[in-house]
């Protein structure tokens, strides 16, 4: 059965958006035959302790990459939802936050501690992070398949408490 816009709309109205997007990502993987190695994306960025982290370190599992900044009001609403999502789904999905600003590291570390971010936080580098950039705004979220392909991109909030409305 083909996935139609009506089907996706129904799913998004019935489920919490994070779970719905995870389902969409799973379905898109199911309906794609095979991801070519050339389609896999990778990057290497520093985490808050100065260690290099690579997207390919997470190959074999779903990854949600969330670009955010400390000054971004929608990001402040979304990060607690990402923390809850990571708590519930850590066996299936790895969330990675990318701090998309040049704020001093100690301020970012305080920010991360204050929001109890329970997933890796990386710092954006000096060079554009292709194919993710240029971003159209913050927050920006990308779903990455276990093979390393971008299967979904989303600009703005993915989930708020009122998004769980179960009305048809």
- Name the 3-class secondary structure at 20: helix
Q: What does the block give as tokens for 56?
A: 């390919």
Residue 59: φ, ψ to 5°: -55, 140
pLDDT band at 43 (very low <50, low <70, confident <90, very high): very high
Average pLDDT, the chain: 79
pLDDT score recorded for residue 32: 45
pLDDT score recorded for residue 86: 93
pLDDT score recorded for residue 109: 98
pLDDT score recorded for residue 134: 83
pLDDT score recorded for residue 125: 87
Beta bridge partners of 44: 54
pLDDT score recorded for residue 139: 95
The verdict on pTM exceeding 0.85 is: no
Over residues 32-51, mean pLDDT: 77
Residue at token pair 């990778």: 42
pLDDT tens sequence across 44-92: 999 999 999 999 999 999 999 999 999 999 999 999 999 999 998 898 8
pLDDT band at 25 (very low <50, low <70, confident <90, very high): low
pLDDT score recorded for residue 84: 92
- pLDDT higher at 160 or 148: 148
116: left (phi over 0), alpha (psi -120 to 50) or beta: left
């Amino acid at each position: 059965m083909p996935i139609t816009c009506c089907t996706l709309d129904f799913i998004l109205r019935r489920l919490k958006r994070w779970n719905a997007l995870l389902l969409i990502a799973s379905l898109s993987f199911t309906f794609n035959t095979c991801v070519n190695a050339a389609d896999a994306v990778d990057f290497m960025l520093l985490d808050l302790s100065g260690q290099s982290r690579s997207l390919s370190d997470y190959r074999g599992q779903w990854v949600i990459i969330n670009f955010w900044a400390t000054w971004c009001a929608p990001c402040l609403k979304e990060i607690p939802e990402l923390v809850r999502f990571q708590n519930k789904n850590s066996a299936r999905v790895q969330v990675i936050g990318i701090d998309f600003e040049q704020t001093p590291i100690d301020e970012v570390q305080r920010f991360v501690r204050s929001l109890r971010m329970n997933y890796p936080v990386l710092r954006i580098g000096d060079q554009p992070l292709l194919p993710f950039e240029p971003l159209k705004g913050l927050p920006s979220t990308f779903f990455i398949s276990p093979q390393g392909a971008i299967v979904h991109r989303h600009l703005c909030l993915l989930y708020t408490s009122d998004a769980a409305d179960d009305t048809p």
